[in-house]
Amino acid sequence: MKQVSLTIDKRLAPYVFLLPFLVFFLAFRVGPIVWSLVVSFTKWSGMNEAVFVGFQNYLRVFKDGRFWTATYNTLYFVVVYNAIMITLALLLAVSLDSSLLKGKGFYRSAYFMPITMSLPVVAMVFDLILARGSGLLAVLLQYLGIGLRVRWLSNASLAMWAIILMRVWRGTGYYCAYFLAGLASIPKDVYEAAKVDGASAWTVFTRISLPLLKPMLLFVLIMSTILSFQIFDEPWILTQGGPADATLMLQIYLYQTSFLEGNLGRGCAISYMMTLLMMGASVLYVKRLGERDA
Amino acid sequence: MSKMNGSARTLLLSLVVLVLLSSVSFAQAQEKVKVTFWTWLSNEALVEEFNRLHPNIQVEHVKMGAYDAQNKFLVALSSGTGAPDVIQLMARHFSLFSTTGKLVDVTDAVKDIKDGYPSNLIEAVSYNSRMYGLPADVSPAVIWYRRDIFKKYGIEAPFATWDDFAKAAAVLKKNGVTMMPLFYPAGGWGANALVMYLHSRGGNIYTQEGKVIRNNKELEYTLQWLNDLYKNGFAEGITFFTPEFWGAFKAGQFACWPMNVAEGANIRQYMPELSGNWGVMPFPRWSDKKEQTTGIWGGTVLAVPKQSKVRDAALTFAKWVAGTVQGQVWASKTWNAVPAYSPAYKDNHYSLGDPYYGGDNVYKMINPVKPFYYFDWAITERIIGKQLDLMFAGKVTPAAARAAIEAELIDETNR
């Protein structure tokens, strides 16, 4: 009987092994991306017959004042949150990296803990902290003799800050872990040489740690920016984007348009405009931080 | 052992096959039809009762958030897979689904019970004169109030008019008690609360034909009234349904809560220690109106998607819940539902007082309801909610808020 050969051409072998991943990647990643691009040119509720409308969705979104409000709010949040969070995470990492600190394990775990909590739970906890009159913050202020009854979530300016601080509390420890890993990878003899030269702690930080941490800083910045662009849970649970759109973020705008108002075509257009924004921000970071290393 | 001949072997084999086949068909007869039911309400006891009464059907109660259920349902209808067999939807958002052709037309299936529903509820679940859902409950407004606080400050209940309500609020404010909570930031719920008051005045946002009412005096009046309550300190903004919210009630920070009947179940659940201290009264009459009518908070609809592979069983369940006295009474017992199916009111359950509410019978506190029309409700909620926030922040007057609501609705809905 003639034997059937099961050997594979060596040149095809890598592709055969990659095939299962590629099939899933095309089906569940590339497919929806392409499909949503097609949908963005239609008027479609997800349940009726889709009608081709060309660039109408994009034009409508572009002319919609709420889109620009959401874009401004999201950019404001992304910039302020990242500035505060990355500064704090860096300072925290440097502190935790200090040889003078005892019980590092405890601090690392404690600072990392908030990221393990689910976002809705965090939002509910902060709702209790910020509660007017009876909240933890109000009680602490009263204890200090400051009888402040602030409506944190009903005040357009304060509501945004409440959400920023909540995110900072949650994210700082997580990104601190990245910086700690970056600091650990810096050769110790560089620090010893600086010590011999009589460099101060500030000089060591600005001239050695920071430049050598730049790749990690760039990574954290891009990751954190992309994730913070996707902010949804906290403002949705606490304020539903209010008061009067003061905490309206692009994700809330997208969710309202797509699911609550049943306009998936326009929702897909919003998501593509968001992607362009995020890509623009990432390119800017890479150019500003990456080219200096070149 | 002697060998069997061919015919004996054939006979034995036939017998074995016969026994096996009969046991399979017996097992199939015993097998229950499984019906998946999505809801955000605590219908567990109701489902248990249905399952007890219908041994051949097993309803699985799947609880999730109201908007979660709606979003997941939209995705399931869109993708053509993953929908439940029965879903409970918000009545005010039902037109988003009834017009898609993806729900089972129940017109013929509910012929025998159709007369039991008021015509406006039939209209709300219909599209092109065909019914695509069953009205499960209505959600009329009443005023839940704290008897002990009212007694302490010498306030008489019930109020004859909303003016009396404001006078009582002034007395309470002097004593450091706020009359009622207010959705602020408003969001969709805040918008629906405003609409509840507007509806109690006989007002509407849209005409019956779906056109935005221009120069809507009723809407302006209601906005002005709500704004006055807030500015006078008779109502205070708070995030609803949070621990802070229930805590404020427990602490006696609020004296009453104008809200739907179903909310009474939550009051009882979150504040069992206040049994006997709560009472309920009807919505008062507006001073400039002759009739004493109430507003509707929402209400729910049961629908069966075409995807369901067990449509008959799903419809049996939906009809039992929404179209039998027994089902409606169970919904009332479980979460204070107000029956959509009129014959249910003959049941003794609706004539009893409740010790938790000091012996009051909430079903006796419901005023007549005038028609209300929902169109593009998600957009409507959003637009009204934003203007309420601006108004409470003092950035727009009630008149300007009314004008902006109308202008934005016309722009966004083309109605």
Higher confidence at residue A234 or residue B109?
Answer: B109
Rounded average pLDDT over A242-270: 94
- Residue in chain B nearest A256 by alpha carbon: B378
Is the per-residue pLDDT at B75 higher than 60? yes
Mean pLDDT of A207-236: 90
Query: Is pLDDT at A129 greater than 90 in this prediction?
Result: no
Taking the C-alpha atoms of residue B320 and residue B406, their distance in angstroms, rounded to an integer, is 41
User: A291 or B199, which is more confident?
Assistant: B199
A270 and A254 Cβ atoms separated by less than 8 Å: yes
Residues in chain A: 294
The predicted structure's pLDDT at residue B139: 93
In tens, the pLDDT along B170-180 reads 999 999 999 99
Strands B141-146 and B256-260: antiparallel
Position A124 scores a pLDDT of: 81
- Report how far apart, in Å, the C-alpha atoms of B20 and of each of A63, A157, B15, B24 are: 70, 74, 9, 6
pTM of the model: 0.86
Residue B24 has pLDDT above 60, yes or no: no
* Omega before residue B158 within 30° of 0, cis: yes
- Sorting pLDDT into bands at 50, 70 and 90, what band is A5? low
User: B13 vs A211, which has greater pLDDT?
Assistant: A211
Of the candidates A132, A133, A260, the beta carbon closest to that of B378 is on A260
Confidence of residue B205 (pLDDT cuts 50, 70, 90): very high
Q: What is the Cα gyration radius of chain B?
A: 26
Contacts of A128 in chain B (CB under 8 A): 242-244
**pLDDT, position A48:** 84
Q: Which residue has the higher pLDDT, B66 or B206?
A: B206
Closest CA to B331 of B265, B243, B280, B286: B265
Tell me which residue in A46, A133, A241 faces B78 most closely, judged by beta carbons: A46
Of residues B274 and A101, more confidence is placed in: B274
Separation in Å, CA of A26 to nearest CA in chain B: 18
Measured distance CA(B404)–CA(A245) in Å, rounded = 15
Q: What is the tens place of the pLDDT at every residue in B318-375?
A: 999 999 999 999 999 988 899 999 999 999 999 999 999 999 999 999 999 999 999 9
Closest CA of chain B from A194, distance in Å: 55
pLDDT digits (tens, 9 = 90+) for A171-208: 999 999 999 999 988 998 888 898 898 888 889 888 98
The pLDDT confidence band at residue A55, using thresholds 50, 70 and 90, is very high
How would residue B390 be classed by pLDDT, with cut points 50, 70 and 90? very high
Confidence bin at A281 (pLDDT 50/70/90): confident
Mean pLDDT score of chain B, rounded to an integer? Answer: 92
Task: Please give the Cα distance from A37 to A57 (Å, whole number).
Answer: 11
Nearest beta carbon to residue A243 from set B78, B185, B376: B185
Taking contacts as CB-CB distances below 8 angstroms, the residues of chain B near A127 are 239, 242-244
Instruction: Name the E strands within B100-161.
Output: 126-127, 130-131, 134-138, 141-146
Average pLDDT over residues B275-303: 96
Q: Check residue A125 and give its pLDDT.
A: 85
For residue B99 the two structure tokens come to 């017009």
Helix, strand, coil: what percent of chain A each, to 5? 75, 0, 25
A289: left (phi over 0), alpha (psi -120 to 50) or beta: alpha
Length of chain B: 415
Q: What whole-number distance in Å separates Cα of residue A264 and Cα of residue B195?
A: 27
Interface of A with B (CB under 8 A): 45-48, 124, 127-128, 131-135, 151, 153-154, 156, 159, 238-245, 256, 259-262, 264
Which residues fall within 8 angstroms of residue B100, CB to CB, at 6 or more apart? A45, A47, A48, B77
Out of A153, A256, A262, name the one closest to residue B239 (CB).
A153
Three-state SS at B116 = helix
CB A233, CB A120: distance < 8 Å: yes
Is B67 a residue whose pLDDT tops 60?
Answer: yes
> What's the one-letter identity of residue B302?
L
From B81's Cα to the closest Cα of chain A, the distance in A is: 12
Radius of gyration of chain A (CA): 25
Say which residues have a Cβ less than 8 Å from residue B13's Cβ, sequence separation at least 6.
Answer: none
Strand residues in B83-179 grouped as ranges (E)? 86-90, 126-127, 130-131, 134-138, 141-146
pLDDT surpasses 70 at B101: yes
CB contact under 8 A, A127 and B239: yes
| pLDDT of A13 higher than 90 | no
| Confidence (pLDDT) at B10 | 63
CB-CB under 8 Å, B100 with A45:
yes
Note whether B379 and B412 are within 8 A (CB): yes
Query: Between chains, do A153 and B242 touch, taking CB under 8 Å as contact?
Result: no
Which residues in chain A are closer than 8 Å to B390, comparing Cβ atoms? Answer: 244
Q: Which range among A75-84, A90-99, A223-232, B17-26 shows the weakest confidence by mean pLDDT?
A: B17-26
Which amino acid appears at position B195 of this protein?
V
Q: How far is Cα B334 from Cα B63, in angstroms, rounded to an integer?
A: 14
- Which token pair is A155? 């005040």
Tell me: pLDDT of B2 over 50.
Answer: no
* Residue found by looking up tokens 């918000």 in the block: B90
- Residue B86 Cα, gap to closest chain A Cα (Å): 17
Residues 130 to 159 of B: which have CB under 8 A from any A CB? none
- pLDDT the model gives residue A9: 78
pLDDT band at A103 (very low <50, low <70, confident <90, very high): confident
Q: How confident is the model at residue B278 (pLDDT cuts 50, 70, 90)?
A: very high
**Helix, strand, or coil (residue A237):** helix
- The SS3 of residue A268 is helix
Q: What is the mean pLDDT of residues B53-65?
A: 96
Mean pLDDT to the nearest integer, A233-250: 91
Q: In 3-state terms, what secondary structure has residue B57?
A: strand
Contact B62, B39 (CB under 8 A): yes
Q: What is the pLDDT of residue B44?
A: 92
